[in-house]
Amino acid sequence: MRSTTRSLACVAVTCLAFALGAASARAAEPAAPAATPEATPAEGIDPDAVALLTAFGKALEAQPRYSFAVDFSYDVVQQHGEKLEFGSTRVYTVKRPDHLRLSEERRVGGRREIYYDGTTLAVYVPDQKVYAKAKLRQHRDLDGFIDVVEEALGMNVALSDLLRAQPLARIEEGLRSAYIVGRETLNGVECEHVAWETDEVDAEAWFSTGNVPLLQRAVVDYREEEGRPSFRAQFTKWDRTPDVSDAVFVFTPPADAERVQFNVRGRNPEPAEEPEP
């Protein structure tokens, strides 16, 4: 039998990495055609662009539960400067204020799943038939959970602003410019194409037109990082009212799965269990 003392340093961290986009995993797409005259940004911040970003955030904020599927791709800058693309498909399911489930199928590495119900975090790796489970010392909503994960692992949660109680509430922090590029069609969906710039990134997003703007695609170019990598997210499905119970966010281990312990930065967030007789 495999040892239950085996650390989840590589399992848990890489598991969580599917939901947490590491800063080193980002980058540039092929050069786009020259912008049309109407796509040339005006100086400063266009309030219409900010209003569109805010409207999307408010729409999510009003939803007590929602889910979305997304196809991620990102570049990792290699030692000699070349960039290699990696990626995965993920499904996020949110039930406010404190429930989250994330499922991933990586291009390399297979499936990963994360469950969080406000007090307990579970990470399951089906292909390896191992899981880790830890109870937080206190109840935390999703904002608190994201902050703990970022602090414990030193990683940024990919698309974390879509999970927080006030999505995109911080969008104007560090904003240097923002403008609406124009209308485009992505996979048959008419979208408003928005671009903005902060001190660290150049970003673009495409939102469906209509009463409720939904994010269809996002590209973030990390201008200040070596190799200027970027991160891309193609949203393939939105469900603003999924029928989910609390049980969806609770992990029940299969009989043949082995429990292992989290090991985050050399600290064990839960006491070692006594060995079973």
Q: Give the per-residue pLDDT at 89.
A: 96
Residue 43 falls inside a structural domain: yes
Using an 8 Å Cβ cutoff, are 123 and 101 in contact? no
Residue 218 falls inside a structural domain: yes
Q: Let me know the angle formed at the C-alpha of 242 by 234 and 18, rounded to the nearest 5 degrees.
A: 40
Two structure tokens written together for 244: 């989910």
Residue 97 falls inside a structural domain: yes
Q: How far apart are the first and last CA of the chain?
A: 15
* pLDDT of 101 above 60: yes
Signed CA dihedral, 170, 172, 177, 178: sign only: positive
Q: Give the per-residue pLDDT at 125.
A: 93
Cis amide prior to 47 (ω within 30 degrees): no
Signed CA dihedral, 53, 57, 62, 66: sign only: positive
Q: pLDDT tens digit string along 204-261?
A: 999 999 999 999 999 999 999 999 999 999 999 999 999 999 999 999 999 999 999 8
Count CB-CB contacts under 10 A for residue 43: 7
Query: Comparing C-alpha atoms, which of 162, 192, 166 is closest to residue 179?
Result: 192
DSSP, collapsed to helix, strand or coil, labels residue 104 as strand
* pLDDT of 113 above 70: yes
* pLDDT of 17 above 90: no
Q: Give the per-residue pLDDT at 60.
A: 95
Amino acid at 275: P
d(CA 199, CA 197): 7
Quick one: residue 126, left, alpha or beta (phi over 0 = left, psi -120 to 50 = alpha)?
Answer: alpha
Question: If residue 16 lies in a helix (H) or strand (E), which one and from where to where?
Answer: helix 9-17
Paired strand residues for 161: none
Q: Which of 21-25, 42-46, 151-155 has the lowest mean pLDDT?
A: 21-25
Q: Give the per-residue pLDDT at 227.
A: 92
Signed CA dihedral, 117, 275, 268, 3: sign only: negative
Residue 102 falls inside a structural domain: yes
Residue 277 falls inside a structural domain: no
d(CA 167, CA 207): 15
Q: Where are the alpha helices (DSSP H) in 62-156?
A: 142-153
Residue 264 falls inside a structural domain: no
Local confidence band at 137 (pLDDT 50, 70, 90 cut-offs): confident
Residue 222 falls inside a structural domain: yes
Q: pLDDT tens digit string along 52-99?
A: 999 999 999 999 999 999 999 999 999 999 999 999 999 999 999 999
Residue 266 falls inside a structural domain: no
Q: pLDDT tens digit string along 161-214?
A: 999 999 988 887 889 999 999 999 999 999 999 999 998 999 999 999 999 999
Using an 8 Å Cβ cutoff, are 65 and 241 in contact? yes
Question: If residue 268 lies in a helix (H) or strand (E), which one and from where to where?
Answer: none
Q: State how many domains the chain has.
A: 1
**pTM score:** 0.79
Question: If residue 117 lies in a helix (H) or strand (E), which one and from where to where?
Answer: none
**CATH code assigned at 126:** 2.50.20.10
Quick one: residue 234, left, alpha or beta (phi over 0 = left, psi -120 to 50 = alpha)?
Answer: beta
Using an 8 Å Cβ cutoff, are 20 and 151 in contact? no
Give residue 225's domain range. 9-25+38-259
